[in-house]
């Protein structure tokens, strides 16, 4: 028997659109903040990982690609990938990269440095993205978009790699947002 579909079962479309829209106008990267703020709010307010379990469009996209389109080898992830030291280490690394992105945005905002129209994949591979900036806004707004899109593209790439190698939602095991929301839930219900 098929499960009834709800509106949130189609949030994978938003995840796919997000990546595609960033190719055409980098300012769409700002929409990715929804994926940062909403999970934290849900976990703080409800004390649950409802976002990860129900509303995460990226997890849904990986499930669709891996299961329905059979792009996943469907193997268990190695124990080290789900270990606490790796998950929290990856979260720490991810946060360092996030704050580095914010610092670069601040440098552009303060006039210390000019706009860098580049998206980085895996924090090192520079992909020229100058065609995607089509809206005249202050440089720091565009710099944030380039940095944030880099973070989102990198995490999507890592998720796709682990989806292909392991189970479809393997990214969810070490996703920095999932690790943070899990930590918030534990703190909220700590006696």
DSSP string, 77-102: PPHHHHSHHHHHHHHHHHHHHHHHHH
Q: Quick one: pLDDT at residue 170?
A: 97
Beta-carbon contacts of residue 112 (< 8 Å; ≥ 6 apart): none
Comparing 62-71, 99-108, 124-133, 158-167, which segment has the lowest mean pLDDT? 124-133
Average pLDDT rounded to a whole number, residues 7-24: 94
Are 133 and 117 in contact by the 8 Å Cβ rule? The answer is yes
Are 175 and 81 in contact by the 8 Å Cβ rule? The answer is no
Average pLDDT rounded to a whole number, residues 34-41: 95
- The token duo for 33 is 């903040």
The model's confidence at residue 128, banded by pLDDT at 50, 70 and 90, is confident
The model's confidence at residue 132, banded by pLDDT at 50, 70 and 90, is confident
Rounded distance, CA 133 to CA 35, Å? 22
Q: What is the reported pTM? A: 0.92
Q: Quick one: pLDDT at residue 134?
A: 66
Q: Quick one: pLDDT at residue 163?
A: 98
The model's confidence at residue 109, banded by pLDDT at 50, 70 and 90, is very high
The model's confidence at residue 123, banded by pLDDT at 50, 70 and 90, is confident
User: For 133-188, what is each residue's pLDDT tens digit?
Assistant: 667 899 999 999 999 999 999 999 999 999 999 999 999 999 999 999 999 999 88
Structural domain boundaries of the chain? 7-188
CA dihedral in degrees (61, 74, 77, 151; nearest 10)? -20
DSSP secondary structure letter of residue 137: -
- The token duo for 7 is 């509106």
Rounded distance, CA 108 to CA 28, Å? 19
Average pLDDT rounded to a whole number, residues 87-108: 96
The helix/strand/coil state of 121 is strand
* Mean pLDDT, the chain, integer: 93
Instruction: Please enumerate, as own/partner, the contacts of 1-8 that have beta carbons within 8 Å and a separation of 24 or more.
Output: 8/54, 8/55
Q: Quick one: pLDDT at residue 101?
A: 95
């Amino acid at each position: 028997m098929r499960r009834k579909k709800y509106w949130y079962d189609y949030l994978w479309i938003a995840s796919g659109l997000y990546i595609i829209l960033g190719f055409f106008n980098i300012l769409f990267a700002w929409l990715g903040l929804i994926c940062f703020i909403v999970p934290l709010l849900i976990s703080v307010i409800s004390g649950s990982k409802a976002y990860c379990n129900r509303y995460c469009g990226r997890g849904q996209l990986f499930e669709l690609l891996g299961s329905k389109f059979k792009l996943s080898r469907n193997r268990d992830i190695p124990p080290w990938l789900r270990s606490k030291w790796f998950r929290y280490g990856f979260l720490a690394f991810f946060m360092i990269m996030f704050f580095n992105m914010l610092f670069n945005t601040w440098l552009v905002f303060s006039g210390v440095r000019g706009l860098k129209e580049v998206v980085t994949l895996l924090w090192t591979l520079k992909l020229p993205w100058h065609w995607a900036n089509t809206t005249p806004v202050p440089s720091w707004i565009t710099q944030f978009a380039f940095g944030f899109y880099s973070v989102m593209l990198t995490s999507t790439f890592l998720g796709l790699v682990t989806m292909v190698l392991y189970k479809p939602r393997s990214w969810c095991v070490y996703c920095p947002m999932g690790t943070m929301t899990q930590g918030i839930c534990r703190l909220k219900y700590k006696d």
